[in-house]
Amino acid sequence: MRLIQNMCTIAEYPAPGSAAADYCLGAAGRRLVKIAVVGASGVGKTALVVRFLTKRFIGDYERNAGNLYTRQVQIEGETLAIQVQDTPGVQVHENGLSCNEQLNRCIRWADAVVIVFSITDHKSYELIGQLHQHVQKLHPSTRLPVVVVANKADLLHIKQVDPQLGLQLAGMLGCSFYEVSVSENYNDVYNAFHVLCKEVSHKQQPSSTPEKRRTSLIPRPKSPNMQDLKRRFKQALSAKVRTVTSV
Ligand SMILES: Nc1nc2c(ncn2[C@@H]2O[C@H](COP(=O)(O)OP(=O)(O)OP(=O)(O)O)[C@@H](O)[C@H]2O)c(=O)[nH]1
């Protein structure tokens, strides 16, 4: 969907670090968390993003062109600006995943990724492992926080994937897992994004762990000033002289 009320549509596929991409951060001087939402076509990526941003479920969306939205979230008492990049559905070809340059740019830009599949579409589930691998390949020097989301939990009667399998796979990949129904439940959607933001926030502040903060609060001993040193040296010297003369 192209433009949705109450959301700020910033740009389509902004270049990392571009003025558009940093708009929200610059506006309020807040820390920024950038999230890309990826997965097969029709799994509910746009619905998920819209639900998270507006709390509303809107049944029909234009085929996604990949928009960037923003909102603020409170994480452990701090207000963070978050940008969420919706992406077009990933295509699969005979020789595997086909990720176009736009999608790759989004993944490289992101601090964290949401990989979505639908429990009504087994093929979308089969993509998760490959997508996760692709994300890691585009971020070779860091372990990007990823959450796997199994959507359409309300459609149990036509399910093709047991959500339990999603949980197992996410565990094997070292990702968090959420089973959600974007159409019926806002809280699970919110929690999935919230956990991801928290993980990124902790990663962005490695030096402010409680242990380090405690250490920095221990006062350093005052270094004695030169005057003081001279005074003490003189005192020691005259005491020595007194001792020698008294012998
Ligand atoms: N029943 C049900 N339908 C859902 C749910 N989430 C999304 N849908 C529907 O699934 C369809 C596809 O949703 P989209 O959000 O457009 O999916 P997408 O992954 O963005 O699709 P692409 O833009 O093609 O990549 C829409 O008709 C949504 O209304 C859900 O939790 N339950």
Banded pLDDT at 242 (limits 50, 70, 90):
low
Give me the mean pLDDT over the 35-42 stretch: 95
Which two three-digit tokens encode residue 165?
A: 């399998």
pLDDT (tens digit per residue) in 61-70: 766 657 888 8
Q: Which atom of ligand 1 is nearest to the CA of 155?
A: 1
- Angle at alpha carbon of residue 67, lines to 61 and 68, rounded to 5°: 130
User: Under 8 Å CB-to-CB from 212, ≥6 apart: which residues?
Assistant: none
Does residue 9 register a pLDDT over 70?
Answer: no
Banded pLDDT at 4 (limits 50, 70, 90):
very low
Question: What CA–CA distance (Å, rounded) separates 104 from 109?
Answer: 9
CA of 47 to the centre of ligand 1 (A): 6
Pocket test for ligand 1, best of 91, 182, 184, 188 (most atoms within 8 A of CB): 182
| Secondary structure letter of residue 90 according to DSSP | B
Question: What CA–CA distance (Å, rounded) separates 89 from 42?
Answer: 7
pLDDT (tens digit per residue) in 97-155: 777 888 999 999 999 999 999 999 999 999 999 999 999 999 999 999 999 999 999 99
Q: Which atom of ligand 1 is nearest to the CA of 181?
A: 31
Q: Which atom of ligand 1 is nearest to the CA of 59?
A: 29
Check residue 225 and give its pLDDT: 60
Nearest to 105 by CA among 11, 203, 189, 199: 11
Enter the ipTM. 0.99
Name every protein residue with a CB atom under 6 angstroms from any ligand 1 atom: 41-47, 59-61, 63-64, 88-89, 151-152, 154-155, 181-183
